[in-house]
Structure 1
Amino acid sequence: MNLSVTHSQSSFQSLIRNFTEITKLRLSVSVVFSSVAGYLLGADSIDFFVLFLLCLGGYCMVGASNVYNQIIERDLDKLMDRTKNRPLPAGQMSVQSAFILAIVLTIAGIGLLYSINPITAMFGAVSIFMYVSLYTPLKTKTPLSVFVGAFPGAIPFMLGWVAASGEFGIEPGTLFMIQFFWQFPHFWAIGWFLFDDYKKGGFFMLPNGKRDKGTATQVVLYTLWTVFASLIPAFGITGKLYLTTVSGVIIGILGIGLLYYAIRLYKEKTSKAAKQLMLASVSYITLLQIIFVADKFLR
């Protein structure tokens, strides 16, 4: 009896582990965090049930995209050190099981988002389509994949606002623009320090395919655009989305910090500098969203 219970517990733990890995738990939670920030910015009053639907629907949406992605790339994932132990390449989950999970998550995600409002569901569906049908296959063909992937990657922040307001306007458009530009220094930094591993799988992640001055220059330029876009709400030209002067200054200081790491990569051109920029970019977007929300509720 004890052996049976132990086996059941082990099977359940394995099931949970496979689910969290194939849906990329940490990435999905960070995306949900962005959606929640967008919702809090766009809501006149907080409806916690809608917020719950957004979190659950958002996780399903991102999780589905990640499962489809890993089904398509399962043979390439076997070639790379960072991905070879994922459930599909490691043989811990069958392709059929993964595909069923992806379908269930897609239907659940779009259904949950539709129950908030149709436009939220539409953006969710567009995000899944672009990530799976455009970004994923382009990764092995052209560095432009990062540009294409930046569109679905930038949707979550503005998706929250759309969920709260039921419409798309300059406010969610600005949130989209901030996260759109942010994608480039973030993913190019990852592409830089994982260059050799990506090369094994045949992925083209850097703008000119090389860890050189040209790539580093583009990293700096897109970092600047990220910072400029982040400061636009401080000028009072983005409707209901605006920042006080104090918050604008804080965002500006964060931007200088991000730019410091981008310039450091330009000067040093090392994997260490790229990894530091990646960590700085994650801190930047997280703190930016917290500051935007805090600014709204504290002013």
Structure 2
Amino acid sequence: MKWSDYSKLIKLRLTFLVTFSASISFLIGSMANNHAHWVNGINWVNWVKLIIGGFLVTSAANGFNEIIEKDLDKLMKRTMDRPLPSGKMTNGQALVLSLGMGMAGTYLLGSLNLLTGLLSVFSILLYAFVYTPLKRESPIAVFVGAIPGALPPLIGYVAAQQHGRIDEIALILFAIQFVWQFPHFWAIAWVLDDDYKLAGFRLLPTGNRNLGSAVITFIFTLILVPVSLLPTIYHYGGYYVGAVSLTCSVIFLYQAYNLLRTQQIEAARKLMFGSFMYLPIVQLMFLFDFIGK
């Protein structure tokens, strides 16, 4: 098996983004609850455990997803070269790899605290065995998928605490990523709608590229504006993180407005790339705000 096949099985770029989100939230959680000083007060061994464990758990969930969707991936141009539909890897090999990564990742995350381990198991089950089959049934799949999709920052934050608990900051981190996923994913679905429909996926809000889907995407991007300001509103973040978050949200909203105005694939593509930039900038600014205190 080649590295390229393994990277496609685990959806490497997506897995990296998820792990990055969890790792930043771990640092925020360390400084917020343990009053840790930057560099010296953070448990870097646990941070590495989180990164490795989070990477493995996310990889396992993606592996299970591809096993379930093997026959559907054969139908779509962007996925037909993945290792399972292309025959470069067997279902058995993928299953062993995914089970191994899932167990190893859950063990590592569970060693940080029990809640972190339980949340990681929940994320795998919800993503692979609820969201994945639901994608062909109804656009509601996006709402279901947004839950495991928003768990990484929550898991990272909880992992930073010895006993693990969910507080307001954890919920704020979850809320930002939860709401962000809707314009992010619908922009992707708009760009790839023709390909998705080859496999019977119904992921746009109305099921089609039309005004209704564009309006709903715009509304959720609008909701993201006040949600992104929650760190400042609740005094966990200062005016710098508030200003940057507001600026990013307004730019993101403008991109969603262009999709609403034109209903063109190119506008959706710009919104999609904007979403890739939005989340890490907002999360990093929240972290830098804690570092500056």
Deviations 1:122-177 (A, max 9, x none): 11011001001110000011000000000000000111110012211211111111
Q: In structure 1, what is the equivalent of residue 181 of structure 2? A: 183
Q: In structure 1, what is the equivalent of residue 64 of structure 2? A: 68
Alpha-carbon separation, structure 1, partners of 2:99 and 2:259: 41
Contact 2:147 2:178 in 1 (8 A): yes
- The amino acid across from 1:183 in the alignment is Q
TM-superposed CA distance for 1:21, in Å, is 1.1
Indicate whether 1:20 and 2:20 are aligned: no
Q: In structure 1, what is the equivalent of residue 33 of structure 2? A: none
Deviations 1:192-237 (A, max 9, x none): 0101000101101101101111111111111111221110110226
* 1:146-157 equivalence runs, <5 A: 146-157=142-153
Corresponding residue SS for 1:210: coil
Q: In structure 2, what is the equivalent of residue 223 of structure 1? A: 221
* 1:198-237 equivalence runs, <5 A: 198-236=196-234
Contact 2:252 2:275 in 1 (8 A): yes
Corresponding residue SS for 1:285: helix
More helix by percentage: 1
TM-superposed CA distance for 1:252, in Å, is 0.5
Contact 2:15 2:58 in 1 (8 A): yes
Q: In structure 2, what is the equivalent of residue 139 of structure 1? A: 135
Corresponding residue SS for 1:296: helix
Deviations 1:70-90 (A, max 9, x none): 000000000000000000000
Deviations 1:221-261 (A, max 9, x none): 11111221110110226xxxx11112211111111100000
- The amino acid across from 1:259 in the alignment is L
Alpha-carbon separation, structure 2, partners of 1:152 and 1:247: 25
Indicate whether 1:272 and 2:266 are aligned: yes
RMSD between aligned residues = 0.9
Using structure 2 for the length normalisation, give the TM-score: 0.94
- The amino acid across from 1:127 in the alignment is S
Corresponding residue SS for 2:2: helix
Indicate whether 1:254 and 2:252 are aligned: no
Question: Which of 103, 109, 118 does residue 113 from structure 1 map onto?
Answer: 109
Corresponding residue SS for 2:201: coil
Identity %: 40
Corresponding residue SS for 1:116: coil
Q: In structure 1, what is the equivalent of residue 167 of structure 2? A: 169
Alpha-carbon separation, structure 1, partners of 2:175 and 2:233: 16
4+ residue segments displaced more than 4 Å:
none
Alpha-carbon separation, structure 1, partners of 2:147 and 2:125: 11
Identify the range of structure 1 (166-175 vs 108-117) with the bigger mean alpha-carbon deviation.
166-175
Unmatched segments (≥5 aa) in structure 2: 31-35
TM-superposed CA distance for 1:180, in Å, is 0.5
Unmatched segments (≥5 aa) in structure 1: 1-13
Deviations 1:269-293 (A, max 9, x none): 0111001001001100011111111
Alpha-carbon separation, structure 2, partners of 1:155 and 1:213: 31
Q: In structure 2, what is the equivalent of residue 294 of structure 1? A: 288
Corresponding residue SS for 2:72: helix
Question: Which of 190, 193, 207 does residue 192 from structure 1 map onto?
Answer: 190
Using structure 1 for the length normalisation, give the TM-score: 0.93
Pick the structure with greater CA Rg. Answer: 1
Question: Which of 74, 88, 91 does residue 87 from structure 2 map onto?
Answer: 91
Alpha-carbon separation, structure 2, partners of 1:46 and 1:149: 32
Identify the range of structure 1 (218-227 vs 273-282) with the bigger mean alpha-carbon deviation.
218-227
Contact 2:214 2:263 in 1 (8 A): yes
Contact 2:241 2:282 in 1 (8 A): no
Contact 2:139 2:203 in 1 (8 A): yes
Deviations 1:2-57 (A, max 9, x none): xxxxxxxxxxxx43222111011111111010001100111033111100100000
Alpha-carbon separation, structure 1, partners of 2:140 and 2:190: 15
Alpha-carbon separation, structure 2, partners of 1:164 and 1:230: 22
